[in-house]
Amino acid sequence: MNEIQRAKTILKILNKTYPTIKVPLKSRNVFTLLISVLLSAQCTDINVNNVTKNIYPKYHRPEHFVRLGRKKIERLIKKIGIFRVKAKSIYNLSKILINEHGGKVPKTFEELEKLPGVGHKTASVVMSQGFGFPAFAIDTHIHRLAQRWGLTNGKSVVQTEKDLKRLFPKKNWNKLHLQIIYYGREYCKARDCYGLTCKICTTCYPNRKKSVKTLKA
């Protein structure tokens, strides 16, 4: 089975396993989606949702966070990892959105990635889930699974993104990003499957005997 055949097999399994998919991070608008994705770095989606459920009913626009100030933002998100760094990013990007974008989240990768605390992965999630633009956000989990499934050589997340975009139709990218994340959490876990037990691994590599070692992002 070559990589194109594997990609088709994987897509078929994922569509059957997750015919419909929900965005795991709760948000009220594109701005709060941006904030939630920023907060999710080195933090679980569940923890982010537990924190933001008490924030977004009252604070959901850049103006709200600028008025709050850094220290108050810190207190609101203190249960989240590296909360001081994230509070600084939230405060500064809120000011930039007001001063340079009329209080709106920009709709291009270039402008998003100029914002404090926003990297390519965060921008990809906002572009795909917030604006519906075809994007393939690659985090460490997808990077690991793509190697395990023989879709990339794993040299970097940049290479993994290029490989997955080459192998899968553009119309599937946004949904596929979430499907892979959910499948990895449920069936192809880092310390459970090792490339030997889940349906995707056993279907794509029926003769595989040794666990797969993956490269870090």
Residues noted as catalytic: 121, 139
The type of residue at 2 is N
By residue count, the chain amounts to 217
Measure the CA–CA gap between 98 and 38, rounded to whole angstroms.
18
Residue 136 tokens, joined? 């393939």
Asked if 149 and 204 touch (Cβ cutoff 8 Å), the reply is yes
Nearest to 150 by CA among 205, 112, 187: 205
Residues 6+ apart with CB under 8 A from 86: 38, 39, 41, 77, 80, 117
Asked if 118 and 38 touch (Cβ cutoff 8 Å), the reply is yes
Residues 6+ apart with CB under 8 A from 12: none
Measure the CA–CA gap between 96 and 111, rounded to whole angstroms.
11
Beta strands in 14-170 (DSSP E): none
Range 31-44 burial, b when 16+ CB lie within 10 A, else e = bbbbbbbbbbbebe
